[in-house]
Structure 1
Amino acid sequence: MDRALSFGSDAEAYDRFRPGYPDSLVDTVLAHADGPVTRALEVGAGTGKATAGFASRGLVVTAIEPDPGMRAVLATRITQGGWTVDVVDATFETVDLDAVGPVDLLYAAAAFHWTDPATRWSRAAAALRPGGVLAVFGCARDLADPALAARVDALTEPVLPQDPTLSWDIGVLREQPAFADVVETTLPRTATMSADDYVSHLTTVSAYRVLPATQRDELLSGVRGLLPDVVEVTEDVPLHLARRTDRSPS
């Protein structure tokens, strides 16, 4: 199974149980650009968790999403929001950047790790105008109680494959000649949710989704058995920002 395309079979659950992004994220991203931000390219839009934040600010967004299930939910969200968003059935590697034209912002929410490491930075630079901003971020939802998290990890870590979020060292971005003013930061958040909703969230995580169904259900049942009925979670947003220079991408 292609892990990048493992979510669309239950896109509505993904949309319901995955956390969204705070307004402060949008503010931080837009402030990093040199000049106005009116046009954006989103890589791996999914169901529009991040699309909503930027499109609702009046940006014209081209949203790349290769999964038809995710696109269907995304289209409904766009219609309800009344935003100017063009949804493109493509991957970052196949989208026609010349047809899109230079953008002021290129962003990816929990998706950039699925792109090709050999071309992700050069294509990002090619998509952006000089002074435009690159924003790569995600949302890590974790149990806030360290002792409880350790018990869950002891159960799940021997079974789960590694699930990437931002799967590179920030130094790799700093080495790209087409980018400058690289910033790595985290926007902290906490929340309270039912244990059942937390386990439902886990069903949308690719490390769980790629397991055989019987094994996944057994593991999730074990996790639920360790949890109290209500759990506190952290929903920190790791964010990488960079600004496009006048230098050509390598």
Structure 2
Amino acid sequence: MLAELRKHVPAGAKTVQAAFEDLRPGERHGLIFAAAALHWTNPEGRWSRVTALLEPGGVFASFGGPVQLADPAVEDAVRAARAPFLESDEVPSADGTPRGHDMQWPGTELQRSEWFTDVQQSVIERRSTMSSRDYVGLLSTISAYLELPTSEQEQVYSRILQAVPERVEIAADIIVHLARRRCEQ
């Protein structure tokens, strides 16, 4: 993603690739973004850390969203295949906001924060068809599967491969949140 960003910003723009926890306050940035990883960060102090890393007026951006099968019957087959290992493969909202709510997490927390303003949420619809193997490869990047022991991952992926057709259609909308750091008083 950083390579793609570099294609679209002026040559003199400085970019930094780092884990959130590895960034140290002191040097401030005009943009900080998290791509489908914000739920992995420590919630305690998350927004104060982001604020300390952003210059006044700087933008925080978050990208992520659920991957769902478009065909309910195939979704049911996957649910049954993963049931011995996972009740659900959804990433729960960090603040309990239910899916489908007008504003999703982290936008809900950003709206409540004293440090941010101009909170926006956009949804980029994404539909695609892929092979069953590519679909399982995609599942292997989802937190619920990553947290399983390796032996269970192999078993659940095998069961899912057997349960789905050779090609599957997925809905993988990207939910984008933008928020501007308030300028210091």
Aligned pair partner of 2:7 in 53, 56, 70: 56
Q: Deviations over 1:193-242 (max 9, x none)?
A: 11111112222333223323332222211111111111111121111111
Q: Give the C-alpha shift of residue 183 in structure 1.
A: 1.2
What's the offset of the Cα at 1:166?
A: 5.7
Measure the CA separation in 2 of the matches of 1:210 and 1:172: 25
CA displacement 1:61-90 (0-9 Å, x = unmatched): 11113xxxxxxxxxxxxxxxxxxxxxxxxx
Correspondence for 2:101: none
CA spacing shift, 1:145–1:233, aligned 2, 3 Å: same
- Residues 209-228 of structure 1 mapped to structure 2, 5 A cutoff: 209-228=146-165
Return the alpha-carbon distance in structure 2 between the equivalents of residues 154 and 61 of structure 1: 44
Residue 168 of structure 2: aligned partner: 231
Structure 1 counterpart of 2:71, from 121, 137, 145: 145
RMSD, matched Cα: 2.2
The aligned length equals 171
Residue identity opposite 2:14 in structure 1: V
**Higher RCO (CA < 8 A, seq sep 6+):** 2
Gaps of 5+ in 1: 1-49, 66-91
More helix by share: 1
Identity across matched positions, percent: 36
Query: CA separation of 1:63/1:94 partners in 2, compared to 1, >3 Å: closer, same or farther?
Result: closer
Q: Distance in 2 between matches of 1:94 and 1:199?
A: 31
Question: Equivalences for 1:60-139 in 2 at 5 Å?
Answer: 60-65=14-19, 92-98=20-26, 101-139=27-65
The one of 162, 167, 172 equivalent to 2:94 is 167
- Counterpart in 2 of 1:194? 131
TM-score using structure 1 length: 0.62
Q: Which runs of 4+ in 1 moved over 4 A?
A: none
Structure 1 contact 138–165 (Cα < 8 Å) conserved:
no
